[in-house]
Chain A
Amino acid sequence: MEKRTVFSHKLLPYALLAPQLLVTIVFFYWPAGQAVYQSFLIQDAFGISTEFVWFENYRSLFSDPAYYSALGVTALFSTVVTVLSLSFALILAVEADKSLKGAGIYKTLLIWPYAVAPAVAGVLWLFMFQPSLGVFGKMLNAAGFNWNPYLNSGDAFALVTAAAVWKQISYNFLFFLAGLQSIPKSLIEAAAIDGAGPTRRFWSIVFPMLSPTAFYLLTVNIVYVFFDTFGIIHTVTRGGPAGATTTLVYKVFSDGQAGGDLGTSAAESVILMLIVIGLTALQFRFIERKVTY
């Protein structure tokens, strides 16, 4: 039987929740509500003439091929970045978890990129891979590859993906490493005594024991790709060439900022919000069931 302390005061729980609720209302519900309202308006940039149009902004969005292209780019981008950054991080964490000489140094170095802001990560990668100034960009061209992220959509997508993955590996690594270290050594030793090889031990014991961490990371990574990669895209490709790196969040920005079209931009951000809410709910509903805690 669990021990419970009972407070008789009815208002106390609300009072304790109030600061958190206030923060959520001011920083989430209020702006989100404004976005929903704005998405029903067609307005000039200055807000001088306003027309209430119900769902017209949404309708015109869903008849715009560029929007579907952004949806496709986002789906591909989030899948590739999440899969790659989680797998690399897992491999690195498993390796760093072994008793190596100088493991501390490896671990510290692997965590460093996490401290780099997305925009800075973007500039770093562009600096290396700019086709005519970047060291690696020049090398690729000298080696006969026609490397030009300003024109070739594949190149641009690869560059943005590389920067986004590189930046996220640290974070995933940190959590995987912590997850690995919390697995009781006795389990692994017992398996080893029973004759399970390293591969078998990994898939039968380590991997399932890591699943809560992996699940958490999956959610965080998808949110990261949806929103935080904006800085990378903005510094490296600005959504180009030909929309090849225009993700949903980048389109929200470019329609609202460059286009001054706040209605469409707001409609896009509302849809984006629904997608992320939906994805997160799905993950908790279905994937969480398969997770061993």
Chain B
Amino acid sequence: MHPIKAALAASLIVAAHTATAQAEVQIQWWHAMAGANGDRIVKIANDFNASQSDYKVIPTFKGTYADTMNAGIAAFRAGSAPDILQVFEVGTATMMAAKGAIKPVYQLMQDAGEPFDAKAYLPAITGYYSTSKGEMLSFPFNSSTVVMWVNNDALKKAGIDKIPATWPDVFAAGKKLRAAGNEKCGFSSGWITWVNIENFNAWHNLPLSTKANGLDGFDTELVFNKNAPLVKHFENLVEAQKDKVFDYSGRTSEGEGRFTSGECALFLTSSAFYGDVKANAKFDYTAAPMPYYPDVAGAPQNSIIGGASLWVMGGKSAEEYKGIAKFLTYLSKPEVQAWWSQQTGYLPITPAAYELSKQQGFFDKVPAAEVAIKEITNKAPTENSRGLRLGGLAQIRNVWAEEIELALTGKKTAQAALDAAVERGNVMLRQFERTVK
């Protein structure tokens, strides 16, 4: 064939394809769910696509949470952002500050004329992703919270007949576990800062930073080094690290295998660890609420979430927004929500979905899943427990973790480490504040 003819033919074929594609509006959804959860995302998209013929949601896996967020940002800078971007909770401040780059969900629903009631969602979850006036900025897709995973067999062997409910009990249990031959670890924790700083403060109704932990403004300042119970808690952890009553397991989830392998009998980490535990733990396990210090008035308060939400990107056509709005409505349906949360261990985002799961008897089969939802709804959220909105929290967490590592290895006292964590974090917050003015 003549080359020019070939090119013409090729362009005709392409044109024909775009013509058929234009019949339905395509919605690009970039996400960070690998493995089984990635397959579930595809199923959700396929089910939505099959339920109507005007819009087509196309999910694309973009790597880890950080990779996905960076891919979204880079695509935005290059003028080709996706329609929906899944962003982890620590990226919330960065996303909401990017005016013009995003379209707040409440506005999207309004503009698209889609029926939407922010009150139909669990406030403990949506609070993290809403303005102080309660306007939902991003759609809470997959949320979890901190629970304590318990190896019942190991506890029994160590002569601990009750699951420890308070921190003093946990430290005592850790000692007993060590004495009973658990050589490497009494208890441990994944996500060292999310568990021991962010959730610790919320659970004890203590402020992490001013301005309602940043929800009321980017001029927030970290203050948690002045929380006596938190300082005490870290002093206890440092002391316990010396003889491995507590043993550090890294900054994120890399140490979680120590629970499933039986090395650590008590392990504080995400409730979404459930899938892993179910697949790999060869012992009798359960999940218990986070421990608390009983001498702190008002504790336990309520825990805060982790996980990710869906951000709608700015600058799209009205058609696309209509499709996205329909898709978010579809995601909120009780049966979709109940299915997603039962499959993954993430929290249902609406009371209706929670009720449906209850009726289906899910929580009788998996009591661990209910522990999480009871924690986040334990009490009405206060200024200290609604959520966090700190710019550059992903990097700030690394700085906090560095300081904690220094304290645990005896290079700094707990107080000095927390002071430095606050000071270094504040420098980063000021830097962020400057870029969003």
Interface of A toward B, CB cutoff 8 Å: 42-49, 51, 60, 66, 131-133, 141, 148, 150-153, 238-243, 254-255, 257-261
Contacts and interface: CB of A to CB of B under 8 A. Distances in A.
B263 interface: yes
A240 B99 CA distance: 34
Given A44-B436, A45-B98, A150-B255, A258 B398 contact: yes
B435 A49 contact: yes
B66 A257 contact: yes
A241 B408 CA distance: 11
B240 to A, nearest CB: 13
Most chain B CB within 10 A, of A141, A152, A260, is at A260
Contacts of B184: 131-132, 141
Interface string B74-105: 00110000000000000000100111110000
A135 to B, nearest CB: 14
B99 A45 contact: no
23 contacts: A45-B435, A46-B73, A46-B98, A47-B76, A49-B436, A49-B437, A60-B431, A132-B257, A132-B263, A150-B250, A151-B409, A152-B409, A240-B401, A241-B405, A241-B409, A257-B70, A258-B66, A258-B395, A259-B394, A259-B428, A260-B392, A260-B395, A261-B395
Nearest to A141: B184
B70 A151 contact: no
B337 interface: no
A151 to B, nearest CB: 5
A238 to B, nearest CB: 7
A150 B254 contact: yes
A48 B437 CA distance: 10
Contacts of A49: 435-437
Contacts of A152: 409
B261 interface: yes
Contacts of B249: 150
A83 B399 CA distance: 31
Give the secondary structure class of A's interface. Answer: loop
Given A150-B255, A254-B398, A259 B392 contact: yes
B394 A48 contact: no
Contacts of B258: 132
Contacts of A239: 398
Closest 3 CB pairs of A and B: A259-B395, A44-B435, A242-B405
Contacts of A66: 399, 424
Interface residues of B, number: 44
A141 B247 CA distance: 14
B434 interface: yes
B235 interface: no
B257 A45 contact: no
A217 B250 CA distance: 36
A222 B176 CA distance: 50
Contacts of A141: 184
A4 B36 CA distance: 69
Nearest to A41: B435
Interface string B57-83: 000000000100010010011000000
Nearest to B402: A242
Contact of A261 (B402, B403, B406, B431): B431
Given A45-B73, A132-B263, A150 B248 contact: yes
Contacts of B248: 148, 150-151
Nearest to B67: A257
Contacts of A255: 395
Most chain B CB within 10 A, of A66, A132, A239, is at A132
Most chain A CB within 10 A, of B66, B250, B406, B428, is at B250
B411 interface: yes
A261 B395 CA distance: 10
Contacts of B261: 132-133
Nearest to A64: B427
B251 interface: yes
Most chain A CB within 10 A, of B398, B403, B406, B428, is at B398
Interface string B255-286: 10110010100000000000000000000000
A46 B101 contact: yes
Nearest to A156: B405
B402 A243 contact: yes
A237 to B, nearest CB: 10
Contacts of A257: 66, 70
A254 B402 CA distance: 13
Contacts of B66: 257-258
Nearest to A65: B424
Contacts of B411: 242
A239 B263 CA distance: 25
A238 B398 CA distance: 10
B398 to A, nearest CB: 6
Given A132-B184, A151-B405, A258-B66, A46 B77 contact: yes
A66 B406 CA distance: 13
Nearest to B406: A242
Nearest to A146: B244
